[in-house]
Chains A and B, each alone.
Chain A
């Protein structure tokens, strides 16, 4: 059955049209990712409108390309300028930039590409073979299990992102409240619309995403002024690091890729955390840990294999359960939903050819962005020269196009700007933005499943809490939610005490 689905997916992806859009997505993602100040999430948010006119399969294939390309693209500025193009490449700065200072910029860039491809390729394979199995389990989930799965996903993301659990919970709840605006999913009753027709369908998720991530980032960019300081791109030289060195680094790459896949599959920590964990692991297991930070190849390949390993891993909960684990997959989820596909186990049955084509495209993406990277990295490096004074207005223009294109409504553009202001204020107050987006996505799912659980519990003449407890999977999610929240609160409290004592 699985092989049959893979064959069907291959017949969808291997057409000149879809291959072209796969290449286009990888290249566009690579270009945006290489631009300092534009994250992978922002790249997806800004380019989602380009997929509106495409078929669901082609749109999804292109979005996957943007995701993979942008994650790798971030490493270019990290290595050359000590300015991570995306937060996921922050750990690459230590040894990548040190190698550039030693005159080995080309070698560092080549190692980053090779490690990214290893991580991305392994994670794409894991996605292809593991996701259908998870989907089979997910098919058994009913309303009680789904409700607690959503609550689990939300609380874990709220507690691991940002520095304060309370702030994480506030933004998650804010997202859930925003999701209640508009028509009630079951009765059609209008809530919190205050008579505005534009609010009858609620605030479109993509509009909120573009505002929160793109507009707030444009505002952050202009904080530092528009004209760049004179930046010079260092001499790059030969890019390919050589087979011998790559063979020597194989275990570091494989181990780091596995770390990335594992971390990516868990909701909450994303590519950034996985890159730091892999860097730390590589340092611990190294015979010469003191050399880390001085410009050694292990310090470049570990974070790069891990952050690209996240790409496939993080798509497992998103595709199978509809739970995006981080902001990138949340943005991707929005793109998937725009094309009328509802993530969850049914993607693997009702829309199997599209889903499998998308998963296969993740493998193809690795080929595209790596070849593009190896051939054009010297030119991609020039992206770091774009002044913020140009970048910020262009981001605004693309955000306006994206938010308008969804319903051809200027009111949506106004909502987008409003969400941008909210996002900027939240950033300044150190509130994490990811939970608000997850709350907006998962809110309707949670409400619908809670309402169903209440109806079933009433029909059975039992109490709602009892109904949850007698469902073993729901009970497990309840316990894990409580434990993870309790553990996070305890850990933060003890860290705070230590930090205060330290002061």
Chain B
């Protein structure tokens, strides 16, 4: 039976094996430390794979139902946002991101959504760009 812990252990073990193979081509003085860490990490993952993780009261240690759609929405829209800030610019992309994300997350009041999106985009731009002089991504627009 593959519990979530065991799947995680398998993933970590695969990454460890891959990195260990990569590190074999490095000179000894730079590969010793990562190799030692990777071997230890592999051993710990192997332990987790064999034992299947800690059995906690109330079932599987990793068990918890995840509302996937909202998470996928947040990650998906965030990726689009990160791409857009480099192309369009920070202010417009942030406004669009906040507008779409708050709506998708179930905020019903349209005036509230609009006001929040405008205020936060303007506030962060003014604070970080004009007052604190911290670099923000620039695109076609500002």
Contact = CB atoms under 8 A, between A and B. Distances in A.
A11 B108 CA distance: 52
Interface string A44-57: 00000110110000
B98 A177 contact: no
A177 B38 contact: yes
Query: SS class of chain B's interface: helix, strand, loop or mixed?
Result: helix
Interface residues of B, number: 65
Given A222-B71, A392-B105, A451-B29, A180 B48 contact: no
B140 interface: no
Given A184-B30, A226-B107, A429 B4 contact: yes
B106 A396 contact: no
A291 interface: no
B107 A387 contact: yes
B107 A170 contact: no
A401 interface: yes
Contact of B120 (A389, A394, A450): A394
A88 interface: no
B48 A167 contact: yes
A174 B135 CA distance: 31
Contacts of A218: 74
Nearest to B117: A393
Interface in B1-60: 4-5, 8, 12, 19, 22-23, 26-27, 29-31, 33-34, 37-38, 40-41, 44-45, 47-48, 51, 53-57
Contacts of A446: 33
Contacts of B5: 429
A6 B26 CA distance: 49
B20 to A, nearest CB: 10
Nearest to A51: B132
A451 to B, nearest CB: 7
B62 A177 contact: no
Interface stretch (A89-97, A248-256, A402-410): A402-410
Interface in A378-414: 387-390, 392-394, 396-398, 400-401, 404-405, 408, 410, 413-414
Contacts of B67: 223-225
B126 interface: no
B106 A164 contact: no
Contact of B102 (A224, A389, A424): A389
Given A390-B102, A397-B98, A405-B128, A191 B85 contact: no
Interface string B57-100: 10001101011001101110011011001100000001001100
Contacts, number: 177
A500 interface: yes
A401 B44 contact: no
Nearest to A427: B64
B99 to A, nearest CB: 9
A503 to B, nearest CB: 7
A226 B137 CA distance: 28
B57 A503 contact: yes
A87 to B, nearest CB: 18
A417 interface: yes
Of listed A223, A389, A392, residue having the most chain B CB within 10 A: A389
A140 to B, nearest CB: 25
Interface string A125-158: 0000000000000000000000000000000000
A436 to B, nearest CB: 12
A223 B71 contact: yes
B48 A166 contact: yes
Contacts of A413: 82, 85
Given A173-B37, A223-B66, A404 B98 contact: no
Contacts of B12: 170, 174
Given A218-B74, A417-B78, A164 B54 contact: yes
A405 B134 CA distance: 6
A180 B70 CA distance: 34
Given A225-B106, A389-B105, A417 B132 contact: no
Interface of A: 49-50, 52-53, 163-164, 166-167, 169-170, 173-174, 176-177, 180, 184, 186-187, 189, 191-192, 215, 218-219, 222-227, 387-390, 392-394, 396-398, 400-401, 404-405, 408, 410, 413-414, 417, 421, 424-425, 428-431, 446-447, 450-451, 496, 499-500, 503
Interface of B: 4-5, 8, 12, 19, 22-23, 26-27, 29-31, 33-34, 37-38, 40-41, 44-45, 47-48, 51, 53-57, 61-62, 64, 66-67, 70-71, 73-75, 78-79, 81-82, 85-86, 94, 97-98, 101-102, 104-108, 116, 120, 124, 127-128, 132-137
Ranked 8 nearest A-B pairs via Cβ: A226-B105, A389-B105, A393-B101, A226-B106, A173-B41, A164-B54, A389-B107, A429-B62
Given A223-B66, A390-B102, A417-B78, 19 more contacts: A50-B134, A52-B132, A166-B44, A166-B48, A174-B12, A174-B41, A177-B38, A191-B31, A222-B105, A223-B71, A225-B70, A227-B105, A397-B97, A405-B136, A410-B137, A417-B75, A430-B56, A446-B33, A496-B55
